[in-house]
Every structure is written in C-alpha cells, then in structure tokens.
Structure 1
Amino acid sequence: MKQAYQAPAWIYQALQVLRPRPRLTVSQWAQAKRRVTSGAIPGPWNNSVTPYLVGIMDAFSQETVEEIVFAKPTQVGGTAAMENMIGSLVDQDPAPTLVVYPSDDLAEATAETRLIPMFKSHPDMAGKFREHESKKLQLSFRDMWLYLTGANSPADLSSKPIKNLFLDEVDKYPGATKKEADPISLAKERTKTFFNRKIFMASTPTLRTGYIWREKEAAEVEYHYFVPCPHCGTLIELKFAQLKWPDKEQVPDPAQRAERAVYVCQACGSVLTDRDKGPMLQAGRWQPVRGTSKRPRSVAFWLNTLYSPFTPFVEIVREFLRSKDDPDLLHNFVNSWLAEPWEDTKLKTSAELVLERQTGLPEWALPQWTKLVTGGIDVQENCLYWTIRAWGSGMTSQNVAHGQALSMAEVERIMNLPLYLPDGQQRVVNLALMDSGDQTDQVYEFCLRNADWALPCKGTAAMLSDYRLSTVNKAGSKAYGMKLVLVDGGKYKDLIAARMRRQNGTGAWMVYQGCDLEYAQQVTAEHKVTQRTGSREVQRWVLKTSHGDNHYLDCEVYAAAAADVLGVRTLFLEEERVAEQAPARGSVQKVTQEEAWIQARENWL
C-alpha cells in the first residue's frame, strides 16, 4: 500500500502566509489591536467598559448597512467608536476615506492628538502608515488615503470620490448657503460612485430641525439600548423621568437632594443605584423601537447620559438642579446630557390643554366681564373658517363660537347675530379681521360692504409691533385707500400659547363649554421650534405634522389682532378712571353752586 504524499513543512508555512486573515468586526478589531493613547482610560481598548458601543461599531461591519447614525450625549465614547471604525478600515479594508469635523482647526488637532497616535500604536497599522508622504489633513497609507477636513471648507467636500465617509458632531456644521448645499449633502455626493459605501454620522442633538435628529428620524430602523432590571429581570430603557430625589420641602439643600438620587425601575418599582449599572450594561442589548426592516440600509442608535459608566446618577441630578431655572443651562442639559433636541416648553400646546380651558358657559353666551367682541375669518379656496371671541380686562378672553361657512354671505349673517350677556344685555361683533391672502378682490369688496365691522388683514413678520395699520393700495380696486391690518402671526401665537397655559380666570384664554375636538386640534396644530438659518438660530411656528389643519388657529390670531386694534390692552385704564370718579361708599359728594344750578335744570338739555 502506497504511503500518502506529505508536502514539506516550508510549503505549509508558505500557504499559511498566503491564506487571507479572518475579517474581524470593528469591536473585535478594537479589542485586539486598539490602544487608547489619551482620555479617561488610556491603554488597550476594552469593550466591557462601554458595552453599548459594540452594537454601533459592528453595524459598520454589516454588509447590508450603508448608513449609521448615532445621536448621543457628550462623553459616552462616540468619537472613540468612530476612530475604531477608521482604524479597522486602515488595517483590514483600505479604501479612500473622508472624515469631516466642524472646522479645519478641529480636524488638524484631532489628527495630531488622536488619529496619528492610534495608527502608530499597533504594528499592523504602523507598517502601512506613510508619515513622510502625509500632510496635516491628508494621511497616506500603503493602500489608501485618509482625508480630513472641516465642514467650513466647501471645496474640500466636493472633490475626490470616496468610499467611506465619517461625519463628526454634525449639528455644529454650518448650514447651506445661496452658493453651496449643506456640508453633509456635499460630502455624501462624493460617495455616489461606490455601491458598497459606508457613512457614519454622530452628534449631540441641538434642535429638532438639526442634522442629527433629522437623520435619526429618517433612518429605516431606530435602536435604543435596553438593560435588565436586577430585581425583576425586565428589559428597561433608562429614562431621566425615573430618577427620583427628595423634594425641596423635605431637603432644602440642592446638593443634599442630588446625593440621595436613585433610579426607580419603571417595571417593578425597585430602587437601582450606580452599583447596579455596570452589570446591567454588560447584559444590555440594542432593540428596535421604530422600523421593522430585517435588512435595513440605514440604522440609527440613540443613547442618553444615564448609560454612561463615567457619570453617576447623582451627577446627572446635580446638573439638572443647577440648570433647571436658567433657560440657557437647561438647553445645554437637554442636548448634552439627555441627547434630546431643545424645545421651548413654555410655548407647547395641545388639544387636551384647550379642552381644559372650558368654562361653564354654553356656546353663543357672552361672559359677564365682556367689554369687546371680535371675530377672525380665514378664507380658503372652497370655504371659510370663522371664530368669535369675547374680551375683558387683562386680556381675558373666551371663544364664544366658531365654525365653517360655505360662503361669504353666510359669514356676514353669522357676524351680525345678536349676542347676550347673562343680564340680558345685547352685543354684536365690534370688529372682525378677514384674511386677504386668498380671493383678495372678493375679500376687499366684502370688507368694503361691511366697513362698520370688518377689515381685511394680511400676515407679515419682522415688525416691531404686533400689528400695523396700512391701506389697500391696489390700483383699480374699489377698496383703494381702505384700512388694511398687517398682522405678525408669530407674536399672536406666542400670546395665545402663553395665555392658554393659564388657569381659567383673569388673563386666561378660554373656550365655551362643549368645545369640539376638531377646533382644539386645529388651534394647537403648530408648535414653536428653533431653526438654524446659516449661522443663526431663529424660532418659528411650524405645523406639528405636514398635513395638519391650522385654520382655527389663524382665525384666533385675527380675532386677537382685532382686539388689539380696538385697544383691548388698555381696558383696565377705563376701569381705573371709572373707579376714581365713583364716590367712596358712605361719602358725601360736594356740589358747587354752578353744578347745583345745572342739575336742577337738567331737563332743559
């Protein structure tokens, strides 16, 4: 029997050299080869320190995933995770790569203090790094180039095709200009020639309209990190609302209150402390909270500071107590600690809030305190929305009636209906403003025909005052020279939202008993958000949903502007004047000889 041929040992050794190395996921690569040269924990990378980063890093290794979004607080390791992805590419999958930072200066500093030391820290990367061929923002390797740039350099963002794109702290990027698209769009254009491109984007959120939040919302699947409660075993998401501490009455000193902060499990009510956090993080997992695609092209990950192994619960509460009464500090806390977009909660409204403002009066009944009655009319292509509101001192107001009309004749009839106070006195609408943005000529003619109680209005912005009286200057119009009210809708929406949050009573914005849900939804269809315009942040009222109806809100804006035109803010002065003229109770009013003579002969006048 022939003996099987056995190749010499040197052939086996040669084949072992030629055999391709097994491809490591990013987290495996980091555990094996990454050495942290600076930061809180220098030395070999250890996935167990921040276990929530494993899923984010390994999403970069999934062939079907093209875009990864990480909305995060500060100091949870997001930048380090991005550096691990870059190092893994250099070592295992070289291809042209671009990293975009908020500025060129930050790009240079990061390359010098973090990236280059990382490349030199392991022989597999150091052997490929060609430092002598590299520049500050162009690092050369044996099989690839790594480009770094700032988002403030449009020319660098729109040249050279790249396969891998990294975008760090995107909410600090400048916005689009008249000459250039926004930096993210410019950078993404460079990846179009690669079918297997990879895009990683990370940032602390700023506004709901900011880059990172929009990208998170646009991702096909969104993941949150869930950890098991050590008491009941339920997988829970760590939320700021579950942090509990003594109230001010029990413990007046804020520092002592923060020291006694604990986390209360939302599933079983058990108390969790920082000692529980480590084991919980180790046993945690990313779970989808939105989207069901099994092979998504884009994924988003969201995390808040409660998960940070470096930040105890006590420190989070301490920062909140320090920030809660200062809008600027609270803004930073919401962004940098909770990883949520900032919104001005003072101007939040809801349909439920409107329905809470119901009084005991039925529809069409005027409150006893009524001094003015105004209307607002919103003109649509095939119908008109209208509202009637009663006004008293201190800007106190109540919706008396509202509805939808099919013609201007119907609106004319409604606005001339008699209204009654509880004592039987009769009132009518003193002034109604009618939107002239649609069917302008017909609106002008309507207001001209009803000039005793109606005026046209037009929305505008950037006025110093809430409204301004102008004139119709349309050549050839019958209404030429008629008064036109210019209305800053944003200012009146501020007023309505603020007054709506007051409890019923003096100064409140109220509605009649039995107010319908549709009205409540429409009058709260918008919310005020902060938007970035270039380098500026501006606040604007926008629809909460793209297809929401806000006709009744516009009507209420016009009714409020009409009240201003009639001097609603000075009604209290009239009350004070009457009070000053009225004799004190029990007092004897002195009458001059001339006044006595006139009073005796009043019937002559």
Structure 2
Amino acid sequence: MKNVKELKKIIRGALKPPSRETVSAWADEFAMLPSTSAEPGHYRTSRVPYFKEVMDAFNDNRVRRVVVKSASQVGKSSVLLNVLGRYAHLAPCPCMIIQPTLSDAMDFSKRRLSPFIRDTKVITKLFYDKEKTRDANQTILSKYFKGGSVVLVGANSPSGLASRPIKILLCDEVDRYPPSAGKEGSPIGLAEKRMSTYWDGKLGIFSTPTVKDASTIDIEYELGTQEEWRHKCPSCGSWELLSVENMISDYVERRKKTGARTILIKSVKWSCPTCGEIFDEVKMRNAAQGYVAQNPDALANGVRSFFINGFVSPWVSWQDILKEWLTVQGDPLREMNVYNTRFGLSYELPVELEEIKQDNLEDYPAAIPDEVLIVTAGVDVQKDRLEYAVYGWNAVGGYGIERGKVYGLPQDKTTWAELDALLNRTYTNSAGKQFRIARTFVDSGFMTDYVYAYCRSRLREGRFAIKGRSAYGSPLIIKTGIIREAGVYLVVLNVDSAKDEVVTALQSGKIHFGRDDQFLTRSFDEEFFKQLSSERKVKKVNGAEVWKKRNQHARNEALDVTVYALAAIKSCITSEDFWTNLAEEKPPSRRRIVSRELET
C-alpha cells in the first residue's frame, strides 16, 4: 500500500504543470541572505529593482539567453543563487555554474552557494538528508537534489564543461575566462552544447567588462536587446542613463608625501543632458526608473541583454565613485579598474607604444630624484653579457636611474661578480638620503643553471630568479616558490601583463628618464628607447593578445629589463599602506613577496 501511494505521488508530480512563479517572486518569498552579506536576512528585490526583469527573464519562454553587463557591487551573485534556488524548488533540473577557474568555483560554492542552501530553508531539505550527518551526494563542486543537481566548474576545464547535459547554465565573470578551454574551444560554446537536449534551457551570461575589443561580455551584450537601466528626469521627463560624463563634483585635491593624490569630495550632483537641470543623489534615487532597450528586435532571437552601472547600486555612493575616479586620473591601469568595476564599461588601453625620443630625458638634481622612495632592478641574460636597468619608484610612477651592460660569459663567476659590484652600490638623493636596490629580478630563461646558482646565494640581497610566461588573463605574478631540485626561489611572471603595465606607464608619462650627468652615466641612449618600443600587441587565433617583436631581428633587452624592474616593485607591495610606510622610512622586507604558491 505504501509503495502504491509513493507511486501515485511520483505520477502526480510528473504530470503537474511547471510553476509559473517568477524568479523574483520566489526570491522575495523564500530567499535568505547569509549573515556574511551586506544586508543579511530576507532577500528583497525592491533593494535592487534593476534585477527584477533580469531574474524574470529566466521564466520567459521567448528568452533563451540572458546577458548582464554590470559594475561590481550591484548584487549580481544573488541573482545567480535565486535562479538556482527557484529551479531546484519548483522545476528541478540539472544546473551548472561556470567560474573563471576551479579555484573560483570552489570559493563561490563555499562563500555563496552553501550558505544560501543552508539559510533558505525551503531548499535546504531538498539538498540534505536529515537522517545523515554527512551526505555523500553533497560536495563542494557537486550538489544533488531530487530531480536535479548543481555542478560548479572552472572555465579552463574542458572535461568539466562537456561531461553532462545541462538545462540551466550560468556563466559568471566571463571576461576572465580563458579564450579556450584547453584545446576544445570557447568555454561558453563548449558548455552550451550540453543544453541542446532541452528546448526550454536557459543560458545566463554575467560579467564586469575588462578591455575594449577583447571583452566577451561586450560582444554578448551587443547581440541582445541592450537594455540600459535609466532614470526619468524630474524636470523634463526624459529617460537618461546616469553616467560619469554628467556628474558635477565639488572637491579638493591634496598630495601626500608618497606623491599620491588624495581627493576630498564635498558634493556630487547629476546634470540632465537633455534639459540641464541639476539634481542630487537622493532626488535621483527616488526618481522613476526602468529599462530602455536600444535593440529590442534582438528579442526575436531569444536574447535579452542588460546594462547596470555602479551609480544605481544601493551600497556605493556617488561620492565614493567620483572619489575613486578622480584619484586615478592619468593612470591608465587604475582608470581601467574604475571603468570596469564602477562604470561597468570596458576600457581602451594603448596597444602600441610610439617611439620615445631622447629629448624626453630629464635633469635629476642628484644620482636619484628626491621623489623616489624605493629602488629595484631588472637583469637580462645574453650569451656574451648581462644587461641591467635600475629604476626608482613612488606611488605615482617610476624614474629611470641607469642602465648598463656587463660583458662576459654567464658561465664565468667573474661576470656575476661584476654585476654584484654594480647592484651593491648606493644611490644618493639631493637631501643626502641613500638607497640600495631593494629587489632585483634576473631572467632565468637562458643559462638557467648559472642564474639559479647566482640567485640561490643572493636571496638576502633580494635577488630572485624569474621565468616569463605568456598567460592570457592571469595576474602579473602568476606564482612563486622553491624549486627543490635547484634549491632556488623562482618567480613566474605573466610577461604580457607586465608589458601592458610598462607600456601604459610609458604612454602616460608615468616613467621618467634621467640624462647623463656628473652623478652617473645613465646610458639612456637612442638604442635604449628604440628597444623600449620594439614590440607590439597582436591577437592570436584563440583570441588571446600577446606582445611580439615588430621585427624578428629587433633587440628588446631594454623593454625586458624595464619589465623585470617594474615586476620587482609590484612584488614588493604586500599591503595597502606600503607607500605610506616607505614615506615614513619603514623599509620593506627584502624577501617577502606577493605571490601565489608555486604549483608542482
């Protein structure tokens, strides 16, 4: 009798029509935000009204693809969780979340998904068997419930992407995905093939944009309805996108000892581009708001795309955004971060460095400019010489101190002894303060054993062996650690990322160069500057952008040693108050380094 009742229950469930309850309605009724959230407790769509249509698009039979291009800190992660929760509860099916890497997937599961399942009681019982203290069906990356599952994978894992059929596919931070999952092709395209068995499957694509013309989310957004979250002007009634171009800020600018700017914002107001009337933040937050589609015909293709910038976030004030923006003015890489995370826009970086002329050289008042707070060096190894460059740095930029060559075979100890003598020198500014080189990066791609032998015995002096790698989308310093066989500490650099930073700094005048004088023969000659601009950025077939020589016979040692010196200073910055500590004459550790652990 019991079996008959259970069978009838299963049949009734199978014949029951799918729930019409929208994701936003489900979220308002059931979803719970964990205690670690900015606003723990019941989820309220009214706090993020711009996400109501986004969530409900996942219930629209006309829509196959939902695209969200947004700033950071607008509440995007909760949307992914609400979609998963609604389907697990009311329409069980196989679901997948793709994060940029496996590590990101594990982090999302631990910090977001697991607390959401735990606190949203209506789905807790679906995932966990109360009679079992430990449920083998639930792991960090795979969570099962009756009729479905949630699997989390990294975009760099072709096996994880192509292994199972999926109905609900959510792709998070797609601009950080590798161009190809191994050799299998686009991670999104590879995973999307798993949806082919479901006529009513849904694909969600979410991301903060990155670099213009290389942004996946930009492309996906353009293919959709291009719906912008706009505000109705209280004066003329026009529907306008809040953007930085129409913000009027009253502020005071000051300079710190480190050379960095500080901005004190007094007020920020918005000027309507149609009528010119000016309104404060409170007025505009209470104004009528809604989406305006720029390409509504795309709905016929089943694609709705949405744009949300940081000016509508309830957790970030206009003053905070404008303070960030004004502080980074003139620094392309920091500007890019604000463009991406606050404005929700991709940023156009200079892709080529125009030739720098010798007439840009400056007269320093001493061997080292007074603005310098720390000194680093980079060394490149050639078959008959060692080339080096020494740079000084502050929070704003860099100063070329000198470059030179040590002629001799890398196999000879005398060659390295001569380099030692040069790197052990002190440099004095006009106030008499002396500086030694805090950190030196030595390329180990050539004559590796001899570089290892040198750096192994010079770790106390802050001299590290490095190896360059072209790693699209990875951080500047990919990983560090000890190679046990060689007994040497190795730093693995993303040379493409490092060259991006050098080129943008040179392009924006953030790196200065000294003219030969009574203090030093600095040797920043015509050949040096020619080598600085010896490479250009090219796009590979898989979409990755890498730096290549303009001419295969061109020399690029000047660019390489500059890259190594810049990477050396970047590796020194281990805390937010790094530059302040230097200005207060608190020296950094010679051996501590920003890194990811070396993987074996």
Q: Provide TM-score, normalisation by structure 1.
A: 0.53
Q: C-alpha deviations, 1:472-497, integer Å up to 9, x for none? A: xxxxxxxxxxxxxxxxxxxxxx9xxx
Query: Which residue in 2 is equivalent to 1:54?
Result: 52
Q: Conserved in 1, the CA contact under 8 Å of 2:211 and 2:349?
A: no
Q: Distance in 2 between matches of 1:532 and 1:206?
A: 18
CA distance 1:167–1:177, change in 2 (3 Å): closer
| 1:302 equivalenced with 2:307 (yes/no) | yes
Q: Conserved in 1, the CA contact under 8 Å of 2:19 and 2:91?
A: no
| 1:30 equivalenced with 2:27 (yes/no) | yes
1:167-316 pair list within 5 angstroms:
167-176=171-180, 179-208=183-212, 209-217=214-222, 219-246=223-250, 258-280=265-287, 283-293=288-298, 295-316=300-321
Q: Conserved in 1, the CA contact under 8 Å of 2:224 and 2:299?
A: no
Unaligned runs of 5+ in 2: 1-11, 130-134, 256-260, 355-502, 508-535, 551-600
1:187-586 pair list within 5 angstroms:
187-208=191-212, 209-217=214-222, 219-246=223-250, 258-280=265-287, 283-293=288-298, 295-344=300-349, 537-538=545-546
Q: Distance in 2 between matches of 1:187 and 1:338?
A: 29
Amino acid at match of 2:28: Q
Amino acid at match of 1:151: A
Query: Secondary structure at the residue paired with 1:71?
Result: strand
Aligned to 1:122, which of 114, 117, 120?
Answer: 120
Residues paired across the two proteins, number: 348
Q: Distance in 2 between matches of 1:346 and 1:96?
A: 42
Query: Which residue in 1 is equivalent to 2:469?
Result: none
CA distance 1:276–1:332, change in 2 (3 Å): same
Amino acid at match of 2:174: V
Q: Distance in 2 between matches of 1:214 and 1:202?
A: 12
Query: Secondary structure at the residue paired with 2:151?
Result: strand
Cα deviation, residue 276, structure 1: 1.9
| 1:138 equivalenced with 2:142 (yes/no) | yes
Q: Conserved in 1, the CA contact under 8 Å of 2:141 and 2:151?
A: yes
Query: Which residue in 2 is equivalent to 1:71?
Result: 69
Aligned to 1:150, which of 154, 168, 178?
Answer: 154
Cα deviation, residue 57, structure 1: 0.7
Q: Conserved in 2, the CA contact under 8 Å of 1:344 and 1:529?
A: no
Q: Distance in 2 between matches of 1:122 and 1:146?
A: 16
Q: Distance in 1 between matches of 2:539 and 2:309?
A: 23
Cα deviation, residue 275, structure 1: 1.2
Query: Which residue in 1 is equivalent to 2:100?
Result: 102
Query: Which residue in 2 is equivalent to 1:430?
Result: none
Q: Distance in 1 between matches of 2:187 and 2:70?
A: 20
Q: Distance in 2 between matches of 1:531 and 1:52?
A: 36
Q: Conserved in 1, the CA contact under 8 Å of 2:351 and 2:537?
A: no
Q: Distance in 1 between matches of 2:285 and 2:170?
A: 30
Q: Conserved in 1, the CA contact under 8 Å of 2:99 and 2:155?
A: yes
Q: Distance in 1 between matches of 2:115 and 2:51?
A: 21
CA distance 1:239–1:135, change in 2 (3 Å): same
Q: Distance in 2 between matches of 1:80 and 1:532?
A: 35
Amino acid at match of 1:109: D
Q: Distance in 2 between matches of 1:535 and 1:63?
A: 33
Q: C-alpha deviations, 1:303-342, integer Å up to 9, x for none? A: 2111112111111111011111212111111111111111
Cα deviation, residue 54, structure 1: 0.6
Q: Conserved in 2, the CA contact under 8 Å of 1:207 and 1:213?
A: no
Query: Which residue in 2 is equivalent to 1:162?
Result: 166
CA distance 1:294–1:337, change in 2 (3 Å): closer
Unaligned runs of 5+ in 1: 1-14, 350-493, 499-527, 541-556, 558-605
Structure with greater Cα Rg: 1
Q: Conserved in 2, the CA contact under 8 Å of 1:343 and 1:529?
A: no
Q: Distance in 1 between matches of 2:41 and 2:344?
A: 28
Q: Conserved in 2, the CA contact under 8 Å of 1:130 and 1:142?
A: no
Q: CA RMSD in A?
A: 3.4
Cα deviation, residue 235, structure 1: 1.7
Q: C-alpha deviations, 1:234-281, integer Å up to 9, x for none? A: 221111100112488xx778766632322112222222222124312x
1:40-51 pair list within 5 angstroms:
40-51=38-49
Query: Secondary structure at the residue paired with 1:128?
Result: helix
CA distance 1:284–1:120, change in 2 (3 Å): same
Query: Secondary structure at the residue paired with 1:152?
Result: coil
Q: Provide TM-score, normalisation by structure 2.
A: 0.53
